[in-house]
């Protein structure tokens, strides 16, 4: 299929640009999660997005009497509950001796369990427009509508704008939290803001990609980008680029190949980008490090031989 033919089809166009938006936003904002050494928080967020969207659905249908599949309402619900899950995980480590990995696991499963209970309530009840709510588990990129696309672009742009406005605070707090506190920035406020942007980045993708795979969009591009660059702006830009390109290529492949689902194929594309970066990047990679190590060994050997040669001569 040629590219023009591909972009001429409305559904394909929506899938292509929708996943690229998700990849760009998640990749760029994932950099901060990566540098904070808390990448897996995105997995907690995506699982907590399930009860969030379901609660929003119930509120919209039962309380407001509106259409339950309104994308903005669902995103707001997911962002609120996702942020609560993050605050719960980080709060548990602050007030007790539980460490962050356990706190994240507890938060993930409690929120997801709540989501499963809500799912059952919705499945048993008669709510208008409850079809498709199951898509949130695995995601379905082919149902992205133009309204969904504009919503994700708007919300994603909002998150990116937040990042740019608070760039200095985020960077300082990421690399030197103590210094940032001394300078008078409130650590908890910056933390909440930073995690809120990560929540937004994770949540906008859940409908298209599914909550299980969303973690890959947040973790993989920064891990790949880190191998090529040493500066924060470079990393954020490259990571966003990797996310967008990987999503675009994955979406294109999935449509060209036919029956293969989009989300998993994008994840595999991103993983391939990561593997290439890990193996072949010029500065930090497994191969360059192996080469420089061999060289260093050879140099050391030469030096030792040179140093010992005159000594042997003197003995003789």
**Site residues, other proteins (CB under 8 A):** 34-40, 42-43, 47, 92, 95-99, 101-106, 108-110, 112-114, 116-117, 120-121, 124, 134, 137-138, 212-213, 215-216, 218-220, 222-223, 226-227, 259-261, 263-265, 267-268, 271, 274, 278, 284-286
- 197 versus 281: smaller Cβ distance to other proteins: 281
- 129 versus 261: smaller Cβ distance to other proteins: 261
State in angstroms the smallest separation of the CB of 177 from other proteins.
14
State the Cα–Cα distance between residues 83 and 8, nearest whole angstrom. Answer: 38
- 149 versus 199: smaller Cβ distance to other proteins: 199
State in angstroms the smallest separation of the CB of 314 from other proteins.
42
State the CB neighbour count (10 A cutoff) for residue 133.
20
* Cα 87-90-96 angle, rounded to 5 deg: 125
State in angstroms the smallest separation of the CB of 295 from other proteins.
18
As a residue count, the chain comes to 316
- 34 versus 170: smaller Cβ distance to other proteins: 34
Tokens 């500065």 sit on residue: 283
DSSP string, 32-52: HHHHTT-TTHHHHHHHHHHHH
Which whole-number Å values give the CA distances from 39 to 61, 107, 187, in the listed order? 34, 15, 19
35 and 165 Cβ atoms separated by less than 8 Å: no
State in angstroms the smallest separation of the CB of 262 from other proteins.
11
State in angstroms the smallest separation of the CB of 130 from other proteins.
15
Q: Which long-range contacts (CB under 8 A, 24 or more apart) does 95-102 make?
A: 100/38, 101/40
- 137 versus 241: smaller Cβ distance to other proteins: 137
State in angstroms the smallest separation of the CB of 22 from other proteins.
14
- 181 versus 285: smaller Cβ distance to other proteins: 285
The CB-side HSE value for 39 (13 A sphere, CA atoms) comes to: 17
Q: Which residues contact 167 (CB under 8 A, 6 or more apart)?
A: none
């Amino acid at each position: 299929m040629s590219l023009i033919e591909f972009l001429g089809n409305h559904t394909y166009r929506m899938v292509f640009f929708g996943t690229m938006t998700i990849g760009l936003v998640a990749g760029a904002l994932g950099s901060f999660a990566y540098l904070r050494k808390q990448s897996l928080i995105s997995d907690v967020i995506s699982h907590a997005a399930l009860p969030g969207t379901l609660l929003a659905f119930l509120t919209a249908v039962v309380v407001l009497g509106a259409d339950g599949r309104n994308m903005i309402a669902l995103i707001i619900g997911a962002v609120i509950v996702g942020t609560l899950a993050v605050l719960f995980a980080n709060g548990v480590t602050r007030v007790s001796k539980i460490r962050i990995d356990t706190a994240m696991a507890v938060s993930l499963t409690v929120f997801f369990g709540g989501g499963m209970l809500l799912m059952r309530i919705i499945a048993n009840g008669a709510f208008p427009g409850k079809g498709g709510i199951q898509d949130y588990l695995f995601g379905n990129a082919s149902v992205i509508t133009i309204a969904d696309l504009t919503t994700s672009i708007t919300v994603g742009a909002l998150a990116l704008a937040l990042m740019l406005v608070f760039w200095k605070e985020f960077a300082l707090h990421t690399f030197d939290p103590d210094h940032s506190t001394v300078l008078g920035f409130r650590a908890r406020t910056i933390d909440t803001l930073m995690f809120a942007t990560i929540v937004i980045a994770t949540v906008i993708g859940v409908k298209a990609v599914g909550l299980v795979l969303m973690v890959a969009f947040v973790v993989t591009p920064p891990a790949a980008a880190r191998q090529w660059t040493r500066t924060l702006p470079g990393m954020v830009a490259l990571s966003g680029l990797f996310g967008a390109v990987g999503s675009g290529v994955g979406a294109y492949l999935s449509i060209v190949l036919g029956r293969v689902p989009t989300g998993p194929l994008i994840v595999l594309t991103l993983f391939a980008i990561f593997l290439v970066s890990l193996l072949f990047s010029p500065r930090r990679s497994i191969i360059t490090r192996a080469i420089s190590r061999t060289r260093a060994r050879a140099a050391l050997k030469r030096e030792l031989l040179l140093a010992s040669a005159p000594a042997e001569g003197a003995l003789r």
